[in-house]
Every structure is written in C-alpha cells, then in structure tokens.
Structure 1
Amino acid sequence: MDNYDPNTFFSSIDRGGRYSYMNQPLIAQWNLARLIEALLPMIDNNEDNAVKIGERLIDKFSDIYKKKWLSMMRSKLGLHGDQAEDQMLIKDLLDWMHNNDADFTNTFRDLSNSKKPTEKIYKISSFQTWYKKWMVRLQKNNISWDTSLTMMRNSNPLIIPRNHQVERVINSATHGDLKCFRDFLEVLENPYKADGKSKPYQMPPEPRERVYQTFCGT
C-alpha cells in the first residue's frame, strides 16, 4: 500500500475487497478459526468440549489484536504510556492520510525526524491541527524526545517492498538481469537505515507505475 486507503486490496481473486487492509483483522480471525477446526481432534477427545475450547480461544482474538495494534501505533508515533486520547489521535492521523492521499510509510517516517515536516502536503491546516495535538500528547510521555524519536525510527521503516519496485525487479530478472534484484535485496535487508542507496526506493510510484493487481506467486 502506498497512499493510505483502508479499502486497498490487490489480489486478482479478490472481487469484493475481502482481503482489503481494513479487513485484515477479520480475515486473520477467520483463518485462525479454520486452523482451530483442523486441530479439534488434538484439543479434546470429546468434540463438543473441543469446539467450546476452540471458540473461547477465537473469541479472545479481537481484544488481543486491538491491544497489539494500539501498541504498535503508539510506537510508530513515539507515544509512551496509555492516554485516553491516543486512539482518537491515531484515527485522526489515518483519516487525514486517507483524505489527502498521503503515503502511509513516508508519513510515519517523516514524523520520525527531529524537525517538523515541511513538504507541501504537511502545510494543510488539518495536518497542522493534528500536529499540535500530537505535540501536546508527547508532552505527557515519561520519556525524552530523543527516546521517542528512537522508538519511532525503530518502528517506521524507510523502505518497504513497494509493488512497482517488485514489478520492476521481476521484469528485469525475467530478461536475465539480476542486478535490480540484488540492489533491492540489499536495501530491504536494512529497511530502517538511511543511506545514499535507500532514497530511490522510498519514492511512491508515478501514476504510470502503479500496480493495481497482484497474482499468487508474485
């Protein structure tokens, strides 16, 4: 996913967005339920007991996922501790990203810099409002600003395997050129590290480079 959109999906076999970004928790729970079904004979010799145990396990998933997701998002924003406004602060940022076609990966990485981002998209008043709220929340941390920055930089990669880059690598490899693959693999081995080689791979795709559909095995 480049620009943040919770409805994003790429699979060629997904006709209705079943595997969209926003549906990932539901699909994960569904997959776990199928796994539990396969393991029922190993859970208990009595099928009814096995089903009850399995259902109790599956029912815990939603709460566990929400806690893990919130913890991850706090780390991405350098938030320490648990404050009542955290969920809304995170939601507001994601809504802003969606409404303004902001790049998911680059937005979080830009926020991980020691200075306020100055690119044109960040001059929008709605972002300025959100940024002020974020600064207020950071003041409630029991850790230093430098520690928050380190947390963010360790949680927000510079490089992800963007679809248009993967497509470029595959096309080159099918024509016998593996240099693109080796170069790509080198930066992916250290996705949080900034160096001269990483910059080209940080860029979102141009409109002509966008990949709208992927296939099993790619």
Structure 2
Amino acid sequence: MEFQNSYLNLGKNFYQQILPTPVENPQLLLWNQQLAKTLQLSGALNDDHDRAQILSGNRIHDSSTPIALAYSGHQFGHFNPQLGDGRAHLLGELFDLNKRRFDIQLKGSGATRFSRQGDGRCALKPALRELIMSEALHALNIPSSRCLAVVSTGETVYRDLPQPGAIVTRVAQSHLRVGTFQHFGSRGDTESLKKLLDYAINRHYPEIDVNADEAQKALEFLSAVSNRQITLVCHWLRVGFIHGVMNTDNTTISGETIDYGPCAMMGDYHPGTVFSSIDAQGRYAYGNQINIAIWNMARLAESLLPLLAPEQDAAISKAETVIKQLVTDFTKAYRVMLANKLGFAYSDESDWHLIETFLGLMQSNELDYTQTFLALTQMLNGNRLTEETATILKSWLPDWLQRLGISGSVDEITTKAENHQQSATSIPHEKTDNVTDAITRMQHANPAVIPRNHHVEDILERYQQALLSGKGKQQAQTQLEQFLSVLRTPYCETELTAQFQDAAKDKDKGYRTFCGT
C-alpha cells in the first residue's frame, strides 16, 4: 500500500495539514473485502488490528499526509463561505486494479480548523448507514462513494443522546465539490480557481484538453459536470432515492453520490416525499431533485465566470447557454428513464401522457413505487398483478400493453404464460421480441429490492444495542451481513430477498432522518 498525495500540490490554501485525533479503543466492525481487493489492499493491511489502527487514524501510514479540505457551499440556499472538512481527514489516494485514482478518507476522525465548534466525531449509526446506503446505491448501478471499513472508537459521542462513536473509511473518485470552486470563486482568487480547474480536468475529464484556451476548457468543464449530474439524479429518481441534503458542498464534481446523512428511500410514490428532519420546507424532496441539481450547476457556473470571459456579460451569456441546455437535457433524460422503467425503447411526446397517467394513478392511490414497477415487470413474465393493483391500473394497462406491441387482455396474457409454464420469451403473441426487449429494459431499470427505511433503521438499532450490551453481537453482525448480501444483488431475487422486500406497515408515516452531526 502506497498513498499518493496529489492534493498537496495544489497549495496550502486548499487544505489544512492536520493529523486525526487518536481514539481510545479502535475495533474493526466491518471490512469491505470486495472493495479492498479492488483497491489492492488484501495483503497490505494484514489483520483486523492493523486495519483498526490505520483506519481510525491512530497510526499514520508512512506514505500518508492527512489533510482536511477547504470548501464553501450553499446550505439550503444560503451561502456559507467557510465550511470544509470539519470531521474528516483525507489520508491520500490509492489506485485500483484498473489504474483509477481514489481518495481514501476517514470520517469522524477528529476536529479540524473547519469544525465550527463541532466535536469532529461520528456516531455509530450514521457510520453504518453510510456503508449500507452507499453499497446499495453502488449495486443499483448508481455512481457513489463507497465504504471500505467501519471502526468503533470505544468512545461516546454526544448528540441528542449519548451514542457509541465510530469512524468510517470513505472511498471516492475525489472529494472535489461545487463548493470547492465556490470557495475560490467567492474570494476572487482567480489563480487558485485556474489551478483547481486544471486539477479537476486532469483527474475526472481527460477528454477535455487541459492546454486549451482557459475560457474554452472552463465552458467544456461546466457542460461535462452538468451532464454527470443528469446521469446521477436520474438514477436516484429511477430507484426512489432521496438524498436529503443536496447542498453545493455535497455536490461532487465527479458526479458521485456523497454524504448519506439524511438520505432515505421513497415508498409510496409522491413527488413531495421528504424525510429529512432539517428540510422543513421540502427543498430537497424527491420531486425537487432535478431542479436543485440545475440550481447547483448554476452556482458552479457563477464560480467559473472569471474564467469564461474577461467581460462579465459575455461570461454570463456563455454560462446561461449551458444551463438552458441542461434544463432541456434533464427533461429528456428523465423521460427516457421513466420510459425504460415501463419497457419502452424510446420516449416521444405521445408516450408522456401514458407515463404521466401511470404516475398519477400511483400517487392518488398511494401505490408503492418499487413494488408497482416490479409487479409490471413480473407481469410480463407471467405473474398476475394483485387484485388491488389490477383494479387501480385497469383502465391504463391496455394502453401500456398496446404500446409494447402486445395483443390480448391482461388476463389472457398472464393465463397463457402460466399455462405454458415457461419464461417471458414464450408468452404467445404476435410480437414476442417486443416482450423480450421490454422485460430486459425493465429488469435493468426496476430493482427487486431497495434499502427500505424500516429495515435500515431496524438493522442499525439492533447493531447498536448489541454493541452497547455486549449481547447478541454475532446475531446482529449476521443480520447486517445478510442485509448487505441482498442489497448487493438488487436486480435478482435470492432466498433471502423476500425478508427485505416488504413496505413499511405504517407507510413511513412520521419517519425522519438526521444529518448525524
């Protein structure tokens, strides 16, 4: 294991060089073996003791120079010029098997000059939540940071109630944020902005010529980052993920999901779904996430204005062109995503009425988002819809089937498939290939299981209680590992999947998530 430290070359105004604060009794709780293998760490950290010492910050590897990164950010629409890593230390960067560079960061590793009177620590539950949710999103084919390990500290963290402390090791393509560019843009530090732009291009966008004209590469960079936001947020919407705190300091330049504090999953479909306890106005509700992503890209554009053109009006005009195109492209991508969930190869204006009608039926009848799309997928495989779902969708289903090129009534199609007792490709109708293609698209777009909020909370509570009491630790560990094994294969059903597919009995009424700080 040999850390690289490329951030150090940016200059001291980009970070604070500071060691993690040692903890009392670090113990390795969870180790992501698959990720460790990808990062070529299998033989580098020899045992659980070594892993706990290094990944708690108690021991610093010879090649590591820990730093806390500086950045600013808009938090719920209000600009804060001085944020930064208040409870995180970047140990350095490692290369994976494919020669890709990744940051290795400790979260909950102690205070820095960016802590703003915080204790710099992380409680156990938020650390475990980050591991569960990031692994789930990664398996759902959504760009995300990941967790290499969770280490308990043997210390108590004080929030509303005393809680056991933990440190999570986060792995990301980088920790550059929109807020990083805002940090220097808001200060009028054009030289640092140029340096940051070149670093970000070299690290994430090699297709952009870093030696090109400053204005040209800044414009291409803004467009490229915006495109990654389209991909990311449409994936969130595809599976019902609600980030909960889409501040600009949580918006990565790489297009990865980062910061899993108040995140949650939508059960019943409703665009206004929000669970974050700190989002009283619903700014970051499920259905607002596209608009917020566009807003965040406009803030990135503002930071880049000094590089886009010497004259502000010309720079604004260039930025507005990119943002207007982003709005158009986001709308198109969102519609294509929903079309794929319904099995369509493409989406045109005539499809949108069909899609909107379906979403309206789900919303007005409080249908579960994941279960309903999965039921339609399985219906094409010969399974019958539940009586309730079939009744609600009765007037819509014939139009959907016709759009897929499938003839016959719903009952006829499912009955024929059941009688044949064969796969979806054997449903007898005139255009079999249409069904085969539709099922393939739907199976890729619609997971069989998601990290349901009530299951996540149950796992977290059981694990914490076992750790505190010293009783049932092995059982809690097994339950967590079983949950993770199911979440890591979300598009196929295993013998354990059914244990975690059910929606919450109370439909998540009153459910709230917290940021963990």
Fold shared, TM-score > 0.5 on shorter chain: yes
Residue from 474, 481, 485 that aligns with 1:186 = 485
Residue from 482, 495, 498 that aligns with 1:196 = 495
The answer to whether the 8 A contact 2:405-2:434 is kept is no
Residue from 280, 292, 302 that aligns with 1:27 = 292
- Aligned counterparts of 2:343 and 2:448: Cα–Cα separation in 1: 16
For residue 215 of structure 1, give the secondary structure of its aligned residue in structure 2: coil
1:206 aligns with 2:471: no
| TM-fit CA distance, 1:120 | 2.5
- Aligned counterparts of 1:157 and 1:83: Cα–Cα separation in 2: 24
User: 1:85-141 CA deviation, whole Å, 9 max, x = no partner?
Assistant: 2101111111111111110001001110122633122232x4111001101111189
| 2:390 counterpart residue number | 123
User: 1:125-173 CA deviation, whole Å, 9 max, x = no partner?
Assistant: x411100110111118995211211110111001111211211121122
The answer to whether the 8 A contact 2:267-2:507 is kept is no
The answer to whether the 8 A contact 1:40-1:54 is kept is yes
| TM-fit CA distance, 1:209 | 6.2
The answer to whether the 8 A contact 1:10-1:214 is kept is yes
| 2:441 counterpart residue number | 151
The unaligned stretches of length 5 or more in structure 1 are none
Residue from 64, 67, 90 that aligns with 2:332 = 67
| 2:17 counterpart residue number | none
- Aligned counterparts of 1:161 and 1:39: Cα–Cα separation in 2: 37
User: 1:175-217 CA deviation, whole Å, 9 max, x = no partner?
Assistant: 2233332222111111101121111211101118656211114
Superposed CA RMSD = 2.2
The answer to whether the 8 A contact 1:172-1:180 is kept is no
The answer to whether the 8 A contact 2:305-2:319 is kept is yes
Larger Rg: 2
The unaligned stretches of length 5 or more in structure 2 are 1-265, 407-430, 468-475
The answer to whether the 8 A contact 2:335-2:347 is kept is no
As a proportion of its length, which structure holds more helix? 1
Residue from 49, 63, 86 that aligns with 2:314 = 49
- Aligned counterparts of 1:198 and 1:211: Cα–Cα separation in 2: 26
| TM-fit CA distance, 1:52 | 1.9
**After alignment, is 192-201 or 173-182 more displaced?**
173-182
**After alignment, is 204-213 or 87-96 more displaced?**
204-213
Question: TM-score scaled to structure 1, two decimals?
Answer: 0.90
For residue 57 of structure 1, give the secondary structure of its aligned residue in structure 2: helix
- Aligned counterparts of 2:305 and 2:456: Cα–Cα separation in 1: 39
1:138 aligns with 2:404: yes
The answer to whether the 8 A contact 1:172-1:178 is kept is no
The answer to whether the 8 A contact 2:275-2:512 is kept is yes
Matched letter for residue 13 of structure 1? I
Greater RCO structure (CA 8 Å; 6+ sep): 1
- Aligned counterparts of 2:363 and 2:347: Cα–Cα separation in 1: 25
For residue 359 of structure 2, give the secondary structure of its aligned residue in structure 1: helix
